[in-house]
Amino acid sequence: MGRSRYHRSATLAQYRDWGQIATVSCNLCRGKRHYLPADLIEILGDCEGDRVERRMRCETCDRNDYLHVRYWSPIAADDYPITIRRLERIETIRRPVWRDERRT
Protein backbone atom coordinates (compact mmCIF):
# COMPACT_ATOMS: atom_id res chain seq x y z
CA MET A 1 0.00 0.00 0.00
CA GLY A 2 1.34 3.42 -0.92
CA ARG A 3 1.92 6.48 1.13
CA SER A 4 -1.05 8.69 1.94
CA ARG A 5 -1.18 11.94 0.04
CA TYR A 6 -2.01 13.71 3.28
CA HIS A 7 0.96 12.29 5.18
CA ARG A 8 4.09 14.42 5.01
CA SER A 9 7.30 13.29 6.62
CA ALA A 10 9.84 15.64 8.15
CA THR A 11 12.25 17.46 5.86
CA LEU A 12 16.03 17.30 5.99
CA ALA A 13 16.11 20.80 7.50
CA GLN A 14 13.92 19.62 10.36
CA TYR A 15 16.19 16.62 10.98
CA ARG A 16 19.17 19.02 10.96
CA ASP A 17 17.48 21.29 13.51
CA TRP A 18 16.68 18.32 15.74
CA GLY A 19 20.37 17.25 15.70
CA GLN A 20 19.75 13.86 14.12
CA ILE A 21 21.99 11.70 11.95
CA ALA A 22 20.91 9.98 8.73
CA THR A 23 22.02 6.36 8.42
CA VAL A 24 21.83 5.06 4.85
CA SER A 25 22.09 1.29 4.58
CA CYS A 26 22.11 -0.90 1.48
CA ASN A 27 20.26 -4.20 1.80
CA LEU A 28 22.08 -5.67 -1.21
CA CYS A 29 25.75 -5.23 -0.26
CA ARG A 30 25.09 -4.64 3.48
CA GLY A 31 26.96 -1.32 3.50
CA LYS A 32 26.06 1.31 6.07
CA ARG A 33 27.05 4.99 6.09
CA HIS A 34 26.19 7.89 8.38
CA TYR A 35 25.56 11.43 7.08
CA LEU A 36 24.64 14.78 8.56
CA PRO A 37 21.38 16.18 7.14
CA ALA A 38 23.09 19.53 6.46
CA ASP A 39 25.43 17.82 3.98
CA LEU A 40 22.53 16.03 2.31
CA ILE A 41 20.70 19.36 1.91
CA GLU A 42 23.62 20.73 -0.13
CA ILE A 43 23.44 17.79 -2.54
CA LEU A 44 19.74 16.89 -2.69
CA GLY A 45 18.04 20.08 -1.55
CA ASP A 46 15.58 20.29 1.32
CA CYS A 47 13.42 17.30 0.41
CA GLU A 48 11.32 15.04 2.60
CA GLY A 49 13.25 12.51 4.63
CA ASP A 50 11.68 9.44 3.07
CA ARG A 51 12.56 10.58 -0.45
CA VAL A 52 16.30 10.54 0.22
CA GLU A 53 16.64 6.83 -0.50
CA ARG A 54 15.29 7.30 -4.03
CA ARG A 55 17.64 10.19 -4.78
CA MET A 56 20.88 8.55 -3.60
CA ARG A 57 22.92 5.59 -4.82
CA CYS A 58 24.99 3.07 -2.93
CA GLU A 59 28.68 3.84 -3.36
CA THR A 60 29.63 0.15 -3.39
CA CYS A 61 27.08 -1.53 -5.67
CA ASP A 62 25.79 1.65 -7.45
CA ARG A 63 22.13 0.70 -6.93
CA ASN A 64 19.38 2.76 -5.35
CA ASP A 65 16.50 0.30 -5.11
CA TYR A 66 17.93 -1.46 -2.03
CA LEU A 67 18.63 1.64 0.08
CA HIS A 68 16.99 2.34 3.41
CA VAL A 69 17.35 5.59 5.40
CA ARG A 70 16.92 5.83 9.16
CA TYR A 71 17.14 9.03 11.21
CA TRP A 72 18.23 8.85 14.83
CA SER A 73 19.61 11.04 17.59
CA PRO A 74 23.02 10.16 19.02
CA ILE A 75 22.98 9.97 22.80
CA ALA A 76 25.73 9.70 25.38
CA ALA A 77 24.82 6.08 26.09
CA ASP A 78 26.02 5.12 22.61
CA ASP A 79 29.56 4.15 23.51
CA TYR A 80 30.53 2.78 20.11
CA PRO A 81 32.27 5.19 17.71
CA ILE A 82 30.66 5.95 14.36
CA THR A 83 32.23 7.46 11.26
CA ILE A 84 30.22 10.29 9.75
CA ARG A 85 30.82 11.03 6.09
CA ARG A 86 31.22 14.78 5.57
CA LEU A 87 30.86 16.63 2.27
CA GLU A 88 34.24 17.97 1.19
CA ARG A 89 33.42 19.35 -2.26
CA ILE A 90 31.14 18.80 -5.23
CA GLU A 91 32.88 18.14 -8.53
CA THR A 92 31.24 18.89 -11.85
CA ILE A 93 32.12 16.58 -14.72
CA ARG A 94 32.68 18.33 -18.05
CA ARG A 95 31.82 16.28 -21.12
CA PRO A 96 32.18 17.44 -24.71
CA VAL A 97 29.07 17.38 -26.87
CA TRP A 98 29.71 16.78 -30.56
CA ARG A 99 27.60 17.47 -33.60
CA ASP A 100 28.09 16.15 -37.11
CA GLU A 101 28.48 18.68 -39.86
CA ARG A 102 28.38 17.84 -43.56
CA ARG A 103 30.78 19.59 -45.86
CA THR A 104 30.02 19.71 -49.53
Question: What tens digit of pLDDT does each residue of 78-104 get?
Answer: 667 889 999 999 888 888 888 889 987
| 20 contacts 78 by C-beta, under 8 angstroms | no
Could you tell me the sign of the dihedral formed by the alpha carbons of 33, 35, 39, 43, in that order? positive
Question: For the stretch 13-48, what's the b/e string if a residue is b when 16 or more beta carbons lie within 10 angstroms of its beta carbon?
Answer: eebbeeebbbbbbbeeeeeebbbbbebbbeeeeebe
Q: What is the pLDDT of residue 3?
A: 61
- Tell me what pLDDT residue 15 has: 95
What are 25's strand-pairing partners?
32, 68
User: 3-class secondary structure for 26-89?
Assistant: ECCCCCEEEECHHHHHHHHCCCEHHHHHHHCCCCCCCCCCCEEEEEECCCCCCCCCCCEECCCC
Question: Rounded CA gap, 10 and 69, in Å?
Answer: 13
State pLDDT tens for residues 30-52: 999 999 999 999 999 999 988 89
Q: What is residue 2's predicted lDDT score, i.e. its pLDDT?
A: 56
